[in-house]
Structure 1
Amino acid sequence: MLGKIFCSPGVSALIAMLGIVIGWGQVGGGLSWGQEVDLAEVAQKTEKKVFRRANGFELPYRLLIPEKYDPARKYPLIVFLHGAGERGTDNEAQLRHPQVLRLALDEKDPCFLVAPQCPRNSSWTDLLATFRQGLKELPPITEPMLATIELLEALSREYSLDRDRWYVTGLSMGGFGTFDLLIRKPDWFAAGVPLCGGMPEAEAPKIAHIPMWIFHGAADRVVPPELSRRAVRALQAAGATNVRYTEYEGVGHDVWRKAYLEPELRTWLLAQKRTPK
């Protein structure tokens, strides 16, 4: 049994399409139940930056910093990897689907959120190009993924981040990228939330110790939901004990419109702490 949860589209999907979360409060000042947040407005409040590698490669990224940031306090970090449709260099498109920002907003436990932007004609991982032929092994690392890893290292030096509470999530190409990053850095992250992605099943033992909540739409015609089902089976076979799988009946590729609004997701995610393998 994969423990699938089937949910029919409802009001939350409409709210997500509008980029509004009801019940999660206000920007920076904290969140309290019953308030509204315009996530598109939150996205505009993130800082626009560019990370440059030693070889000159540039990676645009957006950074959400808690408004009352205190260097004496340690903060969780959420890494968000966008999908193929948001590639570019405008440093805007990666937050076109702002629902993920909801995960970072909380008065008592605010998070940093970093959203790098992958250039056109590239990807977070070459898994995306080969998944229809079967995900047999991890391909060589791509330049954007290498830059993302170096960016995270730089952020950890610049800000007061809790290294036991780093989380990664992504959708579509970013869902594959989430698995890719977890496999390459299995000791970095406390949890992963891949949406409509997939992974080489042979790599499951490397990341079976990492808590995961995997999402997919049952009607996805872009990335087959079987890829997520197989990932769950492989992780469980490798000994994973904290893997959730939610598959929405009747939902296609845009599963993020529902997944990031799951009422329990933020609480579950931020309760996870890094466990050395």
Structure 2
Amino acid sequence: MEIRNKDLLMKYIAAVWVVVLAVVMAGCAGMPGSDVAESAAARPLPYRQFVVGAERPGPFALVLFLHGAGERGDDNAAQLKHGSAELIGYCRKNGIKAVLLFPQCPRDRWWAGKEPPEGGSMLTALEALLDAKTEEFKPDRVYAVGLSMGGFAVWELALRNPERFAAVMPVCGGGDPARAAKLTGLPVLAVHGSADTVVPVRLSREMVRAIWNAGGENVVYQELPLCGHDAWTPAFRCADNWKWLFAQQNQQNQ
């Protein structure tokens, strides 16, 4: 997938916030789940939960979606700004039975890195949330998707526990290439804009190259020409990316 008209995308982004909130919040009505989880950092971790296709037979898929730095806060809404409508819409349209989790990072914290030592780790809080929802819904596969700050967290969650996930999709993020050999068995779809001036594209390149060099074969890398930091709009609007994600299975289920 290539982005040939960056200006058109940026005009779209200017209006997407209002549209997404209307669509997503309407879809939230009547769905089971909680809005706040107790985190290991001794403070609440707000999240939105959407259950799609509960009436369908078979096990759930579980998706953890991590927002970027600009959506931090405590309103339990801003984290839905990017990607939620596309993910929910894809699941509904394609009959996917899924639990979709959208936690919100506090304004003074980061999903990964830059943690005050006395405050605990947001990554630990996310892992606790995944543990609780895995126990509740018994999914047969778990995915992690994230953009920018969330993309960094997706890489780190995968490095900490690659066996937890069936696949991950980090968008305009970065990780630790020195540990990339841990991901040789994990399907990864990494997306980055070639003209990103916020998170250098080399960070995704280095992670992907390190996995390939370690023998990993199920890594897909999309570098979007003419695209700056906002690689998430084209990435999440591309139905083939969601199709790829949900096609991946945990190794023990294959």
TM-score normalised per structure 2: 0.85
Matches within 5 A, 1:52-201: 52-53=38-39, 56-66=42-52, 68-70=53-55, 73-97=58-82, 98=84, 99-126=86-113, 143-162=121-140, 165-201=141-177
Cα gap change, 1:275/1:108 in structure 2, threshold over 3 Å: closer, same or farther? same
The 1:255–1:88 alpha-carbon spacing in structure 2 relative to 1, beyond 3 Å, is: same
User: Which whole-Å deviations, capped at 9, do the CAs of 1:61-118 have from their partners, x for residues lacking one?
Assistant: 000111x414963111111011011111110111111344344333422321101111
Please give the residue correspondences for 1:35-54 in structure 2 after superposition, counting only pairs within 5 Å.
39-44=20-25, 45-46=27-28, 49-53=35-39
Tell me the distance in 1 between the aligned counterparts of 2:42 and 2:56: 30
The structural deviation recorded for 1:266 is 1.6
Find the aligned partners of 1:54 and 1:243 in 2 and give their Cα distance: 32
Question: What are the superposed Cα offsets for residues 3-44 of structure 1, whole Å, 9 maximum, x if unpaired?
Answer: xx6432379947963549xxxxxxxxxxxxxxxxx6433421
Give the letter for the 1:157 counterpart.
Answer: E
Distance in 2 (CA, whole Å) between partners of 1:166 and 1:103 is 17
Task: Give the whole-Å Cα distance in 2 for the aligned partners of 1:211 and 1:54.
Answer: 28
How many angstroms apart in 1 are the aligned matches of 2:151 and 2:41?
Answer: 27
Q: Secondary structure at the match of 2:102?
A: strand
Instruction: Look up the match of 1:27.
Output: none
Contact 1:193 1:214 in 2 (8 A): yes
Alpha-carbon deviations, 1:168-209, whole Å to 9, x = none?
A: 010000000000111112111011100000011011111121
Work out the percentage of aligned pairs sharing the same amino acid: 37
Change (3 A) 1:155 1:16: farther
RMSD: 2.7
Distance 1:234 1:16, change over 3 A: farther
Question: Which letter maps to 1:40?
Answer: L
2:5 to 2, 9, 14: 9
Q: Is the 8 A contact 1:123 1:142 kept in 2?
A: no
Aligned counterparts of 2:191 and 2:22: Cα–Cα separation in 1: 26
Decide whether aligned partners of structure 1 residues 112 and 106 sit closer, same or farther in structure 2, where only a CA change above 3 A counts.
farther
* Partner AA of 2:91 in structure 1: A
Cα distance in 2 between the residues matched to 1:8 and 1:265: 18
TM-score by length of 1: 0.78
Corresponding letter in the other structure for 1:51:
A
Q: Which runs of 5+ in 2 are unaligned?
A: none
> Which runs of 5 or more structure 1 residues have no equivalent in the other structure?
21-37, 131-138
Aligned twin of 2:239:
263
For residue 245 of structure 1, give the secondary structure of its aligned residue in structure 2.
Answer: strand
